[in-house]
Structure formats: C-alpha cells, structure tokens
C-alpha cells in the first residue's frame, strides 16, 4: 500500500543556471509525479509518451506545444495529454511544473 505524502512544492523548487532540475515526488505502479524546474531559455524537444500525462504550471512562463498547437504557460494552467500525443515546451523565464503520468509504464517510451 502506498503511504500518503505531503510536500511543499514552493520550497522544493530549484532553478539551475541552465537546463532542468527534476525531483520525483512519488512513483507507484500506475502513476508518477515529478516536480520539474527549467532554467530560462531551456527547452524539451518534441517527444511522445506511452502514458497519459498532465502538466500543471506552478511558476514562471513558457510555451507548450501539443499536437502542433501553442499553449501559453503561466501559473495555474493545466494541460492534459493523451498517450502518444507529440509535445514540447520552452521556458521564457524560470519555469516550474508538476508533471503527472498515469497508466501502466511501458518501457517503449521515447
């Protein structure tokens, strides 16, 4: 059985000078929740996942591209992605997101 956890995401945010900082908050057989902090100017190139995913913007601004559609990232924005949906993102300023993956993990992820 998975035990409950409580985390203060604001205190956990660490923005690197460049690149990405990520911290897995909890991983179970059917979900994975990760805090990701991207330095201004960083990006994650287009890729897909074999699992459903949700991104919640916690801090900062950026651009998310899902199935070719640009989405403005700012605090409070929630983005749901079905599995195998092509997506990418770029940070216009230091950007913190909560990435939640759901469904059984498939080792064939990109």
User: Is 16 within the bounds of a domain?
Assistant: no
User: Is 83 within the bounds of a domain?
Assistant: yes
Counting Cβ atoms within 10 Å, is residue 82 exposed (0-12), middle (13-18) or buried (19+)?
A: exposed
Looking at the predicted structure, is the pLDDT value of residue 76 above 90? yes
| C-beta of residue 44 within 8 angstroms of C-beta of residue 63 | no
Tens digit of each residue's pLDDT (9 = 90 or more) over 38-71: 999 999 999 999 999 999 999 999 999 999 999 9
User: Is 73 within the bounds of a domain?
Assistant: yes
- Segment among 6-10, 97-101, 106-110 with least mean pLDDT: 106-110
Give how many domains the chain has, as a whole number. Answer: 1
- Alpha-carbon span 108 to 18, nearest angstrom: 28
User: Is 109 within the bounds of a domain?
Assistant: no
**Looking at residue 56, which CATH number applies to its domain?**
2.60.120.10
Tokens of 30: 């059917």
- Alpha-carbon span 59 to 56, nearest angstrom: 9
User: Is 70 within the bounds of a domain?
Assistant: yes
User: Is 15 within the bounds of a domain?
Assistant: no
- Find the domain containing 67 and state its range: 31-102
User: Is 60 within the bounds of a domain?
Assistant: yes
Give the position of tokens 């640009």. 70
- Alpha-carbon span 28 to 21, nearest angstrom: 21
Q: Which of the four pLDDT bands, split at 50, 70 and 90, describes residue 109? A: very low
Mean pLDDT score of the chain, rounded to an integer? 94
Instruction: Write down the pLDDT at residue 106.
Output: 67
User: Is 77 within the bounds of a domain?
Assistant: yes
């Amino acid at each position: 059985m998975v035990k409950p956890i409580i985390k203060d995401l604001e205190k956990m945010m660490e923005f690197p000078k460049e690149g990405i900082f990520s911290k897995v908050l909890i991983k179970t057989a059917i979900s994975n929740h990760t805090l990701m902090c991207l330095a201004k100017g960083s990006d994650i190139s287009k890729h897909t996942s074999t699992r459903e995913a949700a991104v919640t913007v916690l801090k900062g601004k950026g651009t998310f591209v899902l199935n070719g559609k640009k989405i403005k990232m700012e605090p409070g924005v929630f983005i749901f992605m079905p599995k195998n949906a092509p997506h990418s993102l770029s940070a216009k300023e230091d950007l913190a997101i909560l990435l939640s993956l759901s469904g059984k993990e498939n080792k064939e992820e990109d």
